[in-house]
Structure 1
Amino acid sequence: MGYLKEPKSSKFDRDPALASPLAAAISVQDRETLAMVASALKDRRMRLAFQPVVYAGDPGIIGFFEGFIRLLNLRDQVIPARDFMAAVEQQQLGREIDCAALQLGLMAMQRNPQIRVSVNMSARSVGYRPWVEILRRALQDAPRLGANLILEINEASALQVPDVLKPFMADMREHGIVFALDDFGSGMTSLRLLRDLGFEIAKIDGSLVKNVDRLPEGQAVCRAAIALAEELGMYVVAEAVETEGEATWLREAGVGCLQGYLFGPPTVTPDFRAFRHGRPALKGQELA
């Protein structure tokens, strides 16, 4: 049997800058988006949108609110997070976004001391002095804030710098802060590291939740993620719940809290009066 000849390479194949006009256009678009993000941070054009996380057993009770950073362009339009989050993850710009989200979350808690809030962060921000100083200064000025603060770290980020993260988490637990592992079940998991880090909350990734009530193969994976989280001593929250069918299945599967558009979208004008001092239980006890 003969073999197909490989086509001759052209200068467009050899020169990455010229290889694809589409790639070049995307690169320009990325640079423009990152420039908008940097400008929004510099000029403080930002908001925190809050989404309720409710008890599975009684969705009328809010366990906590998750805060999502919203950066605005010069026309006060939201810059979609999907357009920049992946690009800034390893950059200082990502740490500056974490600083902004933390600061806005802490300000909301200071104005509304009855609420509990979770704020997203990268594990790499633990080594970023401005971010750490914002947190420590807030805890010094208002020590009670720690008991109402949840820091969310996605699974991939947590497993990158466990040696730095572990002592930080131990230190912050002394202030009452709780840690949530975001996107649980979405990627490769190091069971040993997750055990050593000891996250209190596991947030089941939305990709496992979608249509879980109608897809038997998805149910098996979701049950496995829930069982693993419980085995590691984590309280289970399901993200991206959009239908009553999904909520019912997750409730019956033992999930403690539910989050998603079914219970309310993220909003920059939340009604914090709806918070009823909910406290997700961990192994029969309240999270401190």
Structure 2
Amino acid sequence: MSAGTQQSASPLDYAIDQQSRVTLPTVRLAVERGNGVLAFQPVVQSGRTERPAFYEGLIRIIDESGRIVPLRDFMPVAETTELGRRIDCLSLALGLQSLREDPSLRLSINMSARSIGYPDWITTLRDGLIAEPQVAERLILEITESSAMEMPDVVHQFMREVQGYGVSLALDDFGAGYTSFRYLRDFCFDMIKIDGQFIRNIANHPDNQVLTRALQSIAHHFDMFTVAESVETADEAAFLIDMGIDCMQGYYFGAPTIAPPWKSPPTMVQR
């Protein structure tokens, strides 16, 4: 950062830039070595909250000292670069590995639409599904709304391919950014995950209630399941159940963990 840029940037922007300069090489090296694990968070059906319908596998990068690197320290910068694509590759490889190891597991894995055109990512997906076709029906790919709307034609073509394998697709962070409802109609996602900003304190927040009901109505109109993200209290859960949300996810039902009950101590994908 030049002196002029440093002077014009806010102290927070400068701190984030400095943190990225320190962290990104560490993350890059860890990803190259396959030093990552998934943290599993349950997603429950509203009518059967005692048992997860599936889990979301959230990537955790581990540095040379064995420390988990906080996502906030690198993901905002990495997600639009090749490092973001490499992280998506590692996350997908770990997810496919988990599905192979446990035939009872259903798992969602995050991805950016930018990874669709990344050769290593699409090869990892195709090779994994060809080698183990039975995992396809237990795999859910979560595509962020912001990235999907940037390249709708690419996403639409991709959806046709992976749904042919039996893979389900979810639109993540629904409502967080600009949504083209024309593209939403054409996409035919299996599942919509309503962004947590609309869910937090929903039991006491009339605006969030109206917005969540609107997003739920849109999803159900297109025959898509709804998942409410960031459910953190009993009041929020009770309100969402009453309004007819299909599934819920959040700390109220379980925090992400790298040591879920069914799993032995985590192993890393070796590269």
Alignment partner of 1:38 out of 11, 28, 47: 28
User: Larger helix proportion, structure 1 or 2?
Assistant: 2
Aligned length: 261
Any gaps of 5 or more consecutive residues in structure 2?
264-271
- How much has 1:203 moved relative to structure 2? 0.5
Provide the residue aligned with 1:118 in structure 2: 108
The farther-off stretch of 133-142 and 18-27 is 18-27
The farther-off stretch of 76-85 and 167-176 is 76-85
- How much has 1:21 moved relative to structure 2? 8.6
Provide the residue aligned with 1:220 in structure 2: 210
Residues 21 and 203 from structure 1, CA distance in 2 versus in 1: closer, same or farther, beyond 3 angstroms?
Answer: closer
- How much has 1:128 moved relative to structure 2? 0.4
Please give the alpha-carbon distance, in whole angstroms, between the structure 1 residues aligned to 2:160 and 2:86. 24
Please give the alpha-carbon distance, in whole angstroms, between the structure 1 residues aligned to 2:102 and 2:15. 45
- How much has 1:16 moved relative to structure 2? 2.2
Provide the residue aligned with 2:251 in structure 1: 261
Provide the residue aligned with 2:267 in structure 1: none
Letter in 1 for 2:110: N
Provide the residue aligned with 2:5 in structure 1: 16
Provide the residue aligned with 2:67 in structure 1: 77
Which protein has the larger Cα radius of gyration, Structure 1 or Structure 2? 1
Provide the residue aligned with 2:55 in structure 1: 65
- Taking structure 1 as the reference length, the TM-score comes to 0.87
Residues 228 and 20 from structure 1, CA distance in 2 versus in 1: closer, same or farther, beyond 3 angstroms?
Answer: closer
- How much has 1:17 moved relative to structure 2? 4.9
Contact 1:115 1:272 in 2 (8 A): no
Q: Partner of 1:34: helix, strand, or coil?
A: helix
Provide the residue aligned with 2:182 in structure 1: 192
Please give the alpha-carbon distance, in whole angstroms, between the structure 2 residues aligned to 1:21 and 1:167. 41
- How much has 1:75 moved relative to structure 2? 2.2
Alignment partner of 1:176 out of 141, 144, 166: 166
Residues 142 and 214 from structure 1, CA distance in 2 versus in 1: closer, same or farther, beyond 3 angstroms?
Answer: same
For 1:123-202, what aligned pairs fall within 5 Å after superposition? 123-202=113-192
- How much has 1:24 moved relative to structure 2? 4.5
Please give the alpha-carbon distance, in whole angstroms, between the structure 1 residues aligned to 2:262 and 2:243. 29
Q: Partner of 1:98: helix, strand, or coil?
A: helix
Alignment partner of 1:29 out of 19, 24, 29: 19
Provide the residue aligned with 1:238 in structure 2: 228
Letter in 1 for 2:243: A
- CA-atom RMSD, angstroms? 1.7
Provide the residue aligned with 1:3 in structure 2: none
Please give the alpha-carbon distance, in whole angstroms, between the structure 2 residues aligned to 1:84 and 1:26. 9
Contact 2:19 2:73 in 1 (8 A): no
Residues 39 and 246 from structure 1, CA distance in 2 versus in 1: closer, same or farther, beyond 3 angstroms?
Answer: same
Any gaps of 5 or more consecutive residues in structure 1?
1-10, 274-288
Residues 29 and 226 from structure 1, CA distance in 2 versus in 1: closer, same or farther, beyond 3 angstroms?
Answer: same
Provide the residue aligned with 1:50 in structure 2: 40
Q: Partner of 1:61: helix, strand, or coil?
A: strand
- How much has 1:271 moved relative to structure 2? 2.0
Alignment deviations for residues 186-231 of structure 1 (CA, whole Å, 9 cap, x no partner): 1211000111111110001111100000111221111111111112
Q: Partner of 1:113: helix, strand, or coil?
A: coil
- How much has 1:129 moved relative to structure 2? 0.5
For 1:88-103, what aligned pairs fall within 5 Å after superposition? 88-103=78-93
- How much has 1:20 moved relative to structure 2? 4.9
Q: Partner of 1:159: helix, strand, or coil?
A: helix
Letter in 1 for 2:32: K
Alignment deviations for residues 165-195 of structure 1 (CA, whole Å, 9 cap, x no partner): 1111101111100000000111211000111
Q: Partner of 2:193: helix, strand, or coil?
A: strand
Letter in 1 for 2:34: R
- Taking structure 2 as the reference length, the TM-score comes to 0.92
Letter in 2 for 1:271: P
